[in-house]
Structure 1
C-alpha cells in the first residue's frame, strides 16, 4: 500500500516520539476531530518550512488510521485525557499523501501526477476488489465506487509548484485535480492539507474555496500547535540544560501569536538543544532566494523597510487581504506579506519586524546585494568603520558618517530619531560578525543606545551613545555617569564611543576612549 491505511505515518510518528526531544502537540487532534463530517471539514494549514507541519500530519495519520492499534503512541500524550479519545483512535480510512515525495528521475509534471494517481489507484483496487477490472475516467469515480469514506491528509500540497518544469497551466491542472477529488464529495470525512503557499491567491476562483485556511497572518485557532511557546522552551531548557533559555530566545524567538505571546522556530530550538550550541540552522534551501530576487526587482519599494528592520525599528504595514502566494511579487505589500508567509518576518498589530538573530543574519546579507545600491556601498565600508573604532580613530569615524549623510539617501537624512540609528546600523554592519549588538539596553543606571557585546574573549566591548544637537563629550560623560559599562565590564577592555550630530551645521563629532577594567 502506498497512501491508503498504511503504517508509514505510524512509523514516522513513533520515531519522533523516540527522539530525545519531543513536545506534545496532540491537542491538535482535539481541535481537528470535531470537524469530521461537518461543513468545516476542509482545513488548510500554511506555515513556513521547519514549523512542524509534517510532524503533525504524521501524528494525525497515526491516530486516525484504521487497521492498527496505536494506543501505545498516544496513551501518554495530552489527547488521551480527552472525552473522545477512544471514539476516534484507529477508526477511519486514511489517505495520506506527502506531495513532496517525487518519483525517481522526475522531469515533468505529467510524470509527477501520474505517479500519484497510479499508486492511489493500486491502493484502492487492492483494498476494494470490486473495483478491479473496471475502467475509470478519474480518481473521484473510483473513490465514489468504494461506497466508503475517507480522511484525506495531504502534506505540503504546494511542493510541485516550486519545480522549474511546472507551468502556469500545470498549476491550474493540479488545483483542479484537488478540487475534483475533494470538493462536494460524500466520501470525504475530513480533508486536512498543509503547505507553505496559501491557497487563497492561487485558487482565486472556486477550485479550493471550500478550505478554511489558516496562515501566519490570520490563525487564532491552531497557532500554538505550530511552533514552540515560551513555556515549552523553558521546560525544555530545564530538562536538557544544554543551552540557556536566554540564548534560545535571542536566536529563535520572535514570532507572535494573535494575543502577543511569542513562538519559537521549533526545528532550530530542537537542533540547538541536541547539538548543545545556538547557531544558524535556517537552511539555504527554500524561498529565501526568491524573495531576495523580488527585492532586487522592487528595491525602491522595500529598501527603506529592510534597513529599518535590520536596525531594530518596526515597520508599519496593513497586510490584510494579501495571501502572498505568487512567485512574482510586484508591490511593497506583496513582497512584505510573502516574507511573513515564508517566516522571514513576524507580523502583529500591523507591525513587521525581523523575528530573531537567526533571520537577522539573512537580512544582513540582503543589504550587501548589488541591488541595494548606495546602501550596499555603505555596508561595504562597515569593516573600515569597525577598524577605526577599535583603533580609537575618532576623526575617521566622523568622516565615514559625514560621507554617509552626504549621500542624501532620503530615509537616512536624520528626519527622526530612527534615521540616525539606521545610519549607525549600516555603518557597523560588519561588526555583527564578532559582536552581539543590542539597542537601548538596560545597563548601569539607564539605557545605553548601543552595546557591542563580544562573541568571544579577547575582543573589546563597545559602548556607543548618540547625541543630536549636543556634544560627543556629553555622550561620553553619560556613559560614565550612568555606568553603562556595567553590562560588559567582564570583558576587561571597553571602548567608549560618543557620537553627536549638529543639525544646524550638519556636522558629526566623535570622541573615543578606551578603558581597561582588568586589575
Structure 2
C-alpha cells in the first residue's frame, strides 16, 4: 500500500482509517475533555482549524455501537481505563448549524428544522421501542419529517430527542453542536438577528439547561457570543477560547506535526516556506499552524515539489471583517493597521464576549474595539506573547494573512483614489504623456491619504511588493490599458508593464523601496534595472511607438519618480 492520502475536506473521523487518509492524532482531546469538562463546554476557534473533525471524533468515540478499532494505535488507546469506561457507552446527538441560514428568518427556521429532522432520523429505531408512548412516537415522526405544528416544537427538538434517548437507553445523552454561531452571523447580515438570537436561546435552553437527560454538551464556533444573549442561566458552563492554555494543541498543527507530515510526503525541505506562510497563531501558550493551509499546500508540493506557496484559508471566506475595519477606520486605526502590516504589534483591550449588534454601535471608538476583538477571535490577528488580562499585544500571524490585509488595502485605496475622477484622470494623462513631475506630485497626494508600510525590520522585498501592489491596483482600474505585473521582458521580469494600444504607447515601471528615505539612489537603481534587464524589449516587439520608463521609489507616505523616454 502506498502513501496515505491527504485529508482535504475530510470531516468524518471513521473515513481516516477506512479510506487510508493521513491523520494527525488529536485524540488526547477526549481524555482532557473528560478530565476537565463542565456540563456545557464551548470551544471557540477560527474557521478551518479542525473543530468539525474533532466534534465527529467525539461522536465516534462516545456513541453506542461505535467501532473501537478506529482508535487502535492512537493516543487515546493508551488510556485503557478511560476507554473501558467511556468508549461506545453513550447515546450522542450531533448536529452542525453551518447550513442554518437564509435571506429571511422563516427560511432559516426551515433550515434548522431540516437539520434537526436529519439528526432525528438517525434514531428511527426508537419507533420500534415499547418504551416510548404513542404520542412520543407521533411527535418523533413529525420531527423526522421536519413537520412542526408549533414553533415551540422546533425550539424543543433537541431537548425532546435527549428525553427519548434517555428513556430508551437509561443513559444520559452527550450533545454536540458544531458551528453554533453561523446562524447568528447570517442573521446579522440579512437583517433578522434579534429573531435568530431568540430562536437559538430557546433551542439551547431547552436542551442544555436543567436537563436530567443530558450528560454533557460540547459546542464549537468562531466567536464567543455574550452569555446573556444566548447562554442565559447555564450552570457549570466552561468556555475555552484561543487565549486559554487548556486544549490549545488540539486545534491546529504544531511544529512537530507539520515537520512529520512534510517528511512523510517527502517535502521536508519546504518547511521554512510552510512556516512563514501558515504558522504564527498563538493559542494559549502554544504556537500552531492553520491545518487547512498545511494540508492543501502539502498536497500541491507532493505533486510538484517546487509548487509556489498559495493562500488556502483566505479563500474559505469573504474576509469581509478586514474590509470593514479598513473602510471604517479612524486616523488612529489606520496608523495601527500600518504598524501591523509593517510587522509590528499593537496593544488592544479586547472584549471576550460579543453580540453582532455591537458592530453597529454609533460610538465609532467602541465599534472599532469590537472589530479588533472579532479580528482576533476569527484568526486575522494573534497574540505576541502572553496577554495581561484583557490587554493583548496583537500581530498579524503569517504571510498569508498579511496578504489578506494588503489585498483589502489595495481595493480600498483603488476605490478611494479613482473616486476623485478629476485627479485620477490627471494622473493617467501624466503617466501616458511622460509628465514625470506630475506623476510624482499626484502619486504623493494619493500616498498621503493611504495606509502605508513603515520603515521597520520587514524585508525590503516585502516593502517593495506592498507599493508595487498599490500602484498595480490603481493602474488596472483604467480599463483602456493593458497592465501586466512581473512580466517577462528582455532578460528579466519588470515590475509593471503597461500598454495603451489605441495610442501605441507603452510604459515600463520599476518600483523600489527607499531605505531610510534614500529616494535618489533607489530611483537610480530602478532605472539601471530597466536598462540592464532590457525591459523595453517586449514593448518594442509589440510595436509600441512611444515607450516611457519610470523608476519609482517609495518610503512611508512619499515617493520620487525618475523618468526617461526610449
TM-score, normalised to structure 2, is 0.65
How many correspondences in the alignment?
451
What is the distance in 2 between the residues matched to 1:11 and 1:44? Answer: 19
Per the TM alignment, residue 432 of structure 1 is displaced from its structure 2 partner at its CA by: 9.2
Aligned to 1:365, what secondary structure does the other structure show? helix
Alignment of 1:304-343 (within 5 A): 304-323=335-354, 325-326=356-357, 328-330=359-361, 331-343=367-379
Which residue does the alignment assign to 2:30? 29
CA contact (8 A) 2:173 2:216 kept: yes
Cα pair distance change 1:510/1:417, threshold 3 Å: farther
Which residue does the alignment assign to 1:466? 515
Matched, 1:77 2:74: yes
Cα pair distance change 1:338/1:214, threshold 3 Å: same
What is the distance in 2 between the residues matched to 1:432 and 1:208? Answer: 53
Which residue does the alignment assign to 2:110? 111
| Structure 1, 354-363 or 325-334: larger mean CA deviation | 325-334
Query: For the aligned residues, what is the CA RMSD?
Result: 4.8
Cα pair distance change 1:476/1:348, threshold 3 Å: same
CA contact (8 A) 1:296 1:372 kept: no
CA contact (8 A) 2:50 2:291 kept: yes
Aligned to 2:272, what secondary structure does the other structure show? helix
Per the TM alignment, residue 373 of structure 1 is displaced from its structure 2 partner at its CA by: 7.3
What is the distance in 1 between the residues matched to 2:211 and 2:310? Answer: 47
Structure 2, gaps ≥5 residues long? 1-9, 140-152, 302-306, 362-366, 386-391, 474-485, 496-510, 526-531, 536-550
Per the TM alignment, residue 297 of structure 1 is displaced from its structure 2 partner at its CA by: 4.1
Cα pair distance change 1:132/1:359, threshold 3 Å: same
Deviations 1:384-407 (A, max 9, x none): 99xx9xxxx9989975775457x4
What is the distance in 2 between the residues matched to 1:107 and 1:66? Answer: 35
Which residue does the alignment assign to 2:404? 362
CA contact (8 A) 1:290 1:327 kept: no
Deviations 1:123-144 (A, max 9, x none): 2743754224125774536634
CA contact (8 A) 2:63 2:90 kept: yes
Cα pair distance change 1:291/1:367, threshold 3 Å: closer
Which residue does the alignment assign to 1:154? 177
Per the TM alignment, residue 347 of structure 1 is displaced from its structure 2 partner at its CA by: 2.8
Structure with more helix by fraction: 2
Per the TM alignment, residue 239 of structure 1 is displaced from its structure 2 partner at its CA by: 1.7
CA contact (8 A) 2:359 2:370 kept: no
Aligned to 2:94, what secondary structure does the other structure show? strand
Per the TM alignment, residue 279 of structure 1 is displaced from its structure 2 partner at its CA by: 0.6
From 233, 241, 246, the equivalent of 1:221 is: 246
Which residue does the alignment assign to 1:282? 313
Cα pair distance change 1:35/1:266, threshold 3 Å: same
CA contact (8 A) 2:453 2:466 kept: no
CA contact (8 A) 2:100 2:108 kept: no
CA contact (8 A) 2:224 2:353 kept: no
Deviations 1:16-55 (A, max 9, x none): 344543211111111112246xxx2321111121110011
Deviations 1:265-321 (A, max 9, x none): 101110010122321112545462255246434555633332332222322212154
CA contact (8 A) 2:162 2:214 kept: no
What is the distance in 2 between the residues matched to 1:314 and 1:245? Answer: 25
What is the distance in 2 between the residues matched to 1:279 and 1:190? Answer: 40
Deviations 1:176-217 (A, max 9, x none): 21111112222221201111232335636625564312222x
From 196, 200, 209, the equivalent of 1:174 is: 200
Deviations 1:394-444 (A, max 9, x none): 989975775457x4x598799x9799x9997763434899xxxxxxxxxxx
What is the distance in 2 between the residues matched to 1:413 and 1:224? Answer: 33
From 37, 43, 46, the equivalent of 1:45 is: 43
Aligned to 1:228, what secondary structure does the other structure show? coil
Cα pair distance change 1:85/1:411, threshold 3 Å: same
Which residue does the alignment assign to 1:13? 13
Which residue does the alignment assign to 2:273? 247
What is the distance in 1 between the residues matched to 2:552 and 2:464? Answer: 12
Cα pair distance change 1:197/1:19, threshold 3 Å: farther
Structure 1, gaps ≥5 residues long? 1-9, 434-453, 480-490, 513-519
From 75, 79, 88, the equivalent of 2:86 is: 88
| Structure 1, 309-318 or 122-131: larger mean CA deviation | 122-131
From 55, 58, 80, the equivalent of 2:56 is: 58
What is the distance in 2 between the residues matched to 1:142 and 1:498? Answer: 67
What is the distance in 2 between the residues matched to 1:21 and 1:413? Answer: 40
CA contact (8 A) 1:154 1:193 kept: yes
Per the TM alignment, residue 230 of structure 1 is displaced from its structure 2 partner at its CA by: 1.5
Per the TM alignment, residue 119 of structure 1 is displaced from its structure 2 partner at its CA by: 4.9
Which residue does the alignment assign to 2:259? 234
TM-score, normalised to structure 1, is 0.70
Which residue does the alignment assign to 2:394? 352
Aligned to 2:43, what secondary structure does the other structure show? strand
Per the TM alignment, residue 102 of structure 1 is displaced from its structure 2 partner at its CA by: 5.7
| Structure 1, 326-335 or 340-349: larger mean CA deviation | 326-335
CA contact (8 A) 1:201 1:325 kept: no
CA contact (8 A) 2:200 2:230 kept: no
CA contact (8 A) 1:322 1:334 kept: no
Which residue does the alignment assign to 2:144? none
CA contact (8 A) 1:95 1:151 kept: yes
Aligned to 1:212, what secondary structure does the other structure show? strand
Cα pair distance change 1:316/1:455, threshold 3 Å: farther
Alignment of 1:398-437 (within 5 A): 402-403=444-445, 407=448, 409=449, 427-430=467-470
Aligned to 1:459, what secondary structure does the other structure show? strand
Which residue does the alignment assign to 1:143? 162
Which residue does the alignment assign to 1:4? none
Alignment of 1:201-212 (within 5 A): 203=229, 206-208=232-234, 210-212=236-238
Which residue does the alignment assign to 2:289? 264
Which residue does the alignment assign to 1:482? none
CA contact (8 A) 2:175 2:214 kept: yes
CA contact (8 A) 1:202 1:325 kept: no
Cα pair distance change 1:309/1:179, threshold 3 Å: same
Which residue does the alignment assign to 2:131? 130
Per the TM alignment, residue 357 of structure 1 is displaced from its structure 2 partner at its CA by: 2.0
What is the distance in 2 between the residues matched to 1:29 and 1:100? Answer: 23
